[in-house]
Amino acid sequence: MADPVITVVDLRKTFAFGFLRRKVQAVRGLTFDVRPGEIFGFVGPNGAGKTTTIKMLMGLIFPTAGTCMLLGKRVPDLGAKRRVGFLPETPYFYEHLTGRELVDFAGRLFDLPASVRRPRTEKLLDLVGLTGAASLPLRKYSKGMLQRLGLAQALINDPEVVVLDEPMSGLDPIGRKEIRDLIGSLRSEGKTVFFSSHILSDVELLCDRCAIIVRGEIRDVGPLAQLLSPKLLHTEVVLDRAGAPEERRLTPGEDVDAFLRAAIDGGAKVVSVTPRKEHLEDLFVREVEADQARQ
């Protein structure tokens, strides 16, 4: 098996707040790795430690203990940084710059020559649908436009690994779909994508593997197919009884055929029958509830 591109071993972060230096453990011994070419989702409720972990990976904050490695090098290694692209959560950029200047500035920080930087800037602006707004100052950009510009600047170095912190936050459904498609296209280019999100449907649609983090600890990590129970949870049946909709949930032991036959004989129309297996949301809620029960 190829070497992991991201390796996190027993990573911990404790913050000290206030005059009395009250200690808060934000991350408590995380261990996981991300393999080349996969899309890895990092899922957790607000305050679970997702952004803190990503910031440690990106060299923005220092771990209290443990190690994080990018492309086999201990963070923050300049050589590894050259091969990584990063989109921070709700990105803030220099308002005085235009979109084109911002992406170009990012390219300069990678020491890219103008002959590479300029065409790539235009290509990326086109990719994220900002060519028309490329000459506008960033203070005129909407949240969604800033998010897309953030993605463009993260890709200026044609990175092997792309780390995205909440890339879908603040986007409307169309914007979310565009980012999802973009992440999908990164996978087809062979890039590794590590992203955090609490929008579980996106994670479920995109990820090869994911980790669930709750209160600074990993609860589950692995391929979604393994994490989610293959068992049938229930079958949702929607009926139409003389214009009045009726919804029933049949447990796995109940005979669906018999139920439908009886309903049709009773004059009802069957609108839909949906077998429900476990989704990421169910797993997520289960983990969070288990954590709350432990408290």
Partner 1 sequence: MNRIFAIALNTFREAMRDKLLYAILIFACLLILSAWGIGQLSMHEELRITKDVGLGGISVFGVILAIFAGVNLVYKEIERKTLYAFIPKPIHRWQFVLGKYLGLVLTLTAQVALMSVVLWITMAVQGWSPDGVMVRAVLLLYVQVLLVTAIAVFFSTFSTPYLSGLFTAGIFIIGRSTPDLRALILARFKDSPSTASALNWAIQVLPDLHLFFVSGGLVNGVPASIHAGSYVSWAYVAGATGYGLGYSACVLALAIFLFSRRDFV
Choosing from 23, 73, 92, 255, the residue that interacts with partner 1 (CB under 8 A) is 92
Residues 137-176 close enough to bind partner 1 by CB under 8 A: 150, 153-154, 163
Q: Where are the alpha helices (DSSP H) in the chain?
A: 50-57, 78-81, 99-109, 114-127, 143-154, 173-188, 200-206, 224-227, 256-265, 280-294
Q: Side-chain half-sphere of 169: how many Cα atoms within 13 Å?
A: 15
CB 164 within 8 A of CB 89: no
Choosing from 94, 270, 285, 289, the residue that interacts with partner 1 (CB under 8 A) is 94
In degrees to the nearest 10, what's the CA dihedral of 76, 207, 33, 73?
Answer: -30
Strands 269-277, 232-241: pairing kind: antiparallel
Judged by CB under 8 A, does residue 91 bind partner 1? yes
Residues 98-127 close enough to bind partner 1 by CB under 8 A: 101, 105-106, 108-111
Candidates 4-12, 93-101, 195-203, 239-247; binding stretch for partner 1 (CB under 8 A): 93-101
Judged by CB under 8 A, does residue 15 bind partner 1? yes
Least separation in angstroms between CB 109 and partner 1: 4
Q: Quick check: bond before 88 cis, omega within 30?
A: no
Spatial CA neighbour of 236 closest among 246, 226, 225, 222: 246
Residues 63-82 close enough to bind partner 1 by CB under 8 A: 76, 78-79, 81-82
Judged by CB under 8 A, does residue 87 bind partner 1? yes
Per CB under 8 A, residues contacting partner 1 are: 15, 55, 58-62, 76, 78-79, 81-82, 84, 86-88, 91-94, 96-97, 101, 105-106, 108-111, 150, 153-154, 163
